[in-house]
Structure 1
Amino acid sequence: MEAAAASTSQARGWSSLPTDVLVLILGNLRWSSHPSVALVCRHWRYAASLCPFYPAWITPLLLNTAEVGTANIRYYSPYYDKNFKVDDTLKVPSAKICCSTGRHLKMRADKSLVFDIDLVSGALVEVLPQKPFMLFNFVVSDRDERLFGIRAMFTIEIACAIRTNGDEWEDWNLAENSPDWSQLRASPGTNPVLHNSLLYLLAQDGRLAVYDLCRHHEGFKILDKPNSFGFKCEDSYLLESNQGELMVVAIERRGKKVHLVKLNEQSMEWEKVDSLHSQTVFTRSLTTMMKKTKFNRMQNMIFLPRFYQWPETVHVDLVARDGELAFVPKLPFCADTYLDTCGTNIWSYELAHGAATKEFWGTERADYSIWVDFGDN
């Protein structure tokens, strides 16, 4: 009798725990452990589906709003092909997005101010220094230690502000030198990029201007090389690769072809890159980034914020728990969050095969959008 009871107890084991008990256990585990729990057996997988969440760190997200400063925040995930709508607003009416660093978003308002917003709490963290009598086209943040404001119309001007040891910002310091804009027409959609402690500004034809903070009074200097990309493109976006190389995503008209080139800093010429290997590029916003991914269907891809149809919207809270961020649906939501999705509605280009996943025609751009990376803290 005792042997039979022991055998029955052993047979039941962990896999037969009541669903409500499993849900309570899952509620006390880190979100990143849930996929492993779901792989144990069908019963545990079902319990995991009753605790739905979508990791916010899994890939970069496209933050977009219908109207900057007033509408609710939406994050598009190219992995899940869903929009996650958060009730918080950007709370800065009439402000325009500048740049992002991790969970922090910089926005520029009409009253000559730059705001720093915490995207997780929704709080307005601080108001950064007023502008020095000029209208910035670009704002670049260096890990919140330095701030650069660039004007690239008619002249190329730059101002910098530095955070002091007392955690306050110095006043803007405007550089003296201002090259003629006609000498180098900045690519209108690409932010200047910090690379090896220098700030690079990309021209429409592939030429570069460079700024050295140690020689601040000189402002931007236009380089003799590189001369151009060697081909025509409609849009071009500058980024620094994971290997510390200066690269450009160059897009022909209507996405007919997408080129990736890197700067050979010995010869100062652009060289073609044929493969991203296990990496992914997210571009065509004021933030262009390259990220390593473990998802095969996203490797060697370039994603642009253009959609064939508006993705499904899930109303969520953006929740921080044990150092992890996740989108948690507001209403009971039974969905299998662990299955890899088959396809997306976002336009993408596979660099290795030199072709888009779908035709560019019929896509619609997401206005007021920027790629943000909650995995970059």
Structure 2
Amino acid sequence: MSQEQDWSSLPVDLLILILNRLRWSSHPSFALVCRQWRSAVSPFYPAWITPLLLNTTDVGTTNIRYYSPYFQKNFEIDDTLEAPGAKICCASGRYVTLCMPKQILNVDLLSYDNDYLPLISQFRFEHIVYDGMRKMVGIDTVCLQEIGCCMQNSDEVWERWAYCYPDRTKFTASPVSNPVFHRSFIYLLLEDGRLAVCDECKHEEGFEILDKPQSFGFVYEDSYLVESDQVELMVVLIGRRGSPVNIFKLNEHTMEWEKMESLDGRALFTGTLTTVMKKTAIKSMQNKVFLPRLYDWPDIVYADFVLRDGEFAFVESRRVDNKMKVGNGAYSTNMWSYELGQRENPRDFWETERMDYSIWVDFSNS
């Protein structure tokens, strides 16, 4: 006689079909029913908790990895950025912008569709800034200090680049700081700490170097310009070998830089051409600056990047043997961070390895 079967004997393939019809919020309860049901539930990791560090091994075509400072894991995706020779320029929401010698493309990080912009006429832009909607601005700060603007029309088609060669005072931009949109202007941090400003509606007039603010008055190694989550213009200055880290906010009434002693519970993710500031309820991340430097290679989870129930998440892939590569456990966190007001500890910075070819991406508002 055949043994009597109950709900716990349903095959895993069928349970997975049932799971696909349920909201993720119900999956933990589903897994509590019995061991068989739990075996059908794939672990998933929300991608919106903190910004993620998209990193690659080299310029151009390569597999995509995301490092999560919250989960302290690398999520490796079975997809590639099909853009040989391209460099990452900036990121906005679920899009990352890549620059090739004669063309710019916008990549949707969920579908991996490449949105090619029209060809660039002559020069490769050193800086690209994208408003996340319909405007892309390219800036050449080396040769002719050319400015190009490309607009997306109502049919979501990118129109031809409009160029200008403004006859204004030449300047040297900070080599690692990307321009930012701020209150209808494009701000560019100069090598000496001053600001150059361009009206995005009158880009053909070029940049104007402001009389104020002046330089910061001390030596720093890296600088990153950012518009904060409270629409403030800020700059992060990093000293030699990571110490000290100073953050200044622009007082737009006096046009002077004001040093910040606290981030008011926020966290700042910088060190790439896109800098992100976020309010966080995670106490271990409050008032800290995170840089793309790792103590050890973090655990790897081979995953699919999906959007379900309006939530971006990584789901462990069933296509591969999902074995994690585990670090040596010498540190409680894989990524180096600096808490404002802490005592300087440059040796802590020396023991880290820089994550080149990386950019911060933020899916919380996508």
CA distance change for structure 1 residues 56 and 33 in 2, over 3 Å: closer, same or farther?
Answer: farther
Check if 1:299 corresponds to 2:286: yes
8 Å contact from structure 1 (residues 348, 356) kept in 2: no
Q: Structure 1 residue aligned with 2:252, among 262, 265, 279?
A: 265
Paired residues of 1:52 and 1:333 also in contact (CA < 8 A): no
Contact 1:26–1:48 (8 Å) recurs in 2: no
1:367 to 340, 356, 361: 356
- Aligned residue among 14, 31, 38 for 2:24: 31
Matched, 1:96 2:109: no
- Cα deviation for residue 203 of structure 1 reads 1.3
CA offset digits 1:158-202 (Å, max 9, x no partner): 111122223222221122314444xx3211111100000100000
Q: Which ranges of structure 1 fall in alignment gaps of 5 or more residues?
A: 1-16, 336-341
Count of matched residue pairs: 348
Residue 200 (structure 1) aligns with: 187
2:147 to 146, 158, 171: 158
Alignment CA distance shift 1:109-1:32 (3 Å): farther
The one-letter code of the counterpart of 1:82 is: K
**Structure 1 pair 168/362, CA: closer, same or farther in 2 (3 Å)?**
same
Shift of 1:299: 1.1
Contact kept, 8 Å, 1:250 with 1:260, in 2: the verdict is: yes
**Cα 1:255/1:50, change in 2 over 3 Å:** same
Deviation (angstroms), 1:127: 0.9
1:37-52 equivalence runs, <5 A = 37=29, 47=38, 50-52=41-43
Distance 1:344 1:372 in 2: 20
Residue in structure 2 matched with residue 376 of structure 1 by the alignment:
365
Cα contact 1:202–1:238 (8 A) shared by 2 = yes
In the aligned structure 1, how far is the partner of 2:239 from the partner of 2:185?
28
Question: Structure 1 residue 358: deviation in Å?
Answer: 7.1
Relative distance call for 1:27 and 1:153 in structure 2 (3 A) is same
- Is this contact kept in 2: 1:155–1:179, CA < 8 A? no
- Bigger CA drift: 18-27 or 130-139? 18-27
Task: Quote the offset at 1:351 in angstroms.
Answer: 1.2
List gaps (5 residues or longer) in structure 2.
Answer: 1-6, 325-330
Q: Aligned partners of 1:93 and 1:167: how far apart in 2? A: 25
Q: 1:325 aligns with which of 312, 320, 323?
A: 312
Report the Cα distance in structure 2 between the residues aligned to 1:33 and 1:196, rounded to whole angstroms. 42
How far off is 1:28 after superposition? 4.2
Rounded Cα–Cα distance in structure 1 between residues aligned with 2:343 and 2:23: 40
TM-score w.r.t. length of structure 2:
0.86
Q: How does 1:109-128 map to 2 (within 5 A)?
A: 109-110=100-101, 112-124=102-114, 126-128=115-117
Counterpart for residue 239 of structure 1? 226
What does residue 54 of structure 1 align with?
45
Q: Distance in 1 between matches of 2:33 and 2:70?
A: 24
Counterpart in 1 of 2:242?
A: 255
Gap change, CA 1:205 and 1:316, over 3 Å in 2: same
Relative to 1, partners in 2 of residues 1:164 and 1:41: Cα closer, same or farther, differing over 3 Å? closer
- The match for 1:14 is none
> Quick one: distance in 1 between partners of 2:203 and 2:68?
39
Give the drift of 1:249.
Answer: 0.7
Match of 1:146 among 128, 135, 138: 135
Q: Quick one: which amino acid aligns to residue 140 of structure 1?
A: V
- Shift in alpha-carbon separation, 1:19–1:270, aligned structure 2, 3 A: farther
Question: CA separation of 1:66/1:166 partners in 2, compared to 1, >3 Å: closer, same or farther?
Answer: same
Equivalent residues of 1:52, 1:334 under 8 A apart: no
| Contact 1:49/1:334, CA 8 A, preserved across alignment | no
Whether 1:221 and 2:208 are equivalent positions in the alignment is: yes
Q: CA deviation at 1:215?
A: 2.4
Deviation at 1:102, TM superposition (A): 1.1
Identity of aligned residues (%): 50
The farther-off stretch of 163-172 and 218-227 is 163-172
Separation of aligned partners in 2, 1:118 and 1:160? 21
After TM superposition, the structure 1 = structure 2 runs for residues 43-82 of structure 1, keeping only pairs within 5 Å, are 47=38, 50-82=41-73
Instruction: Describe the SS at the equivalent of 1:152.
Output: coil
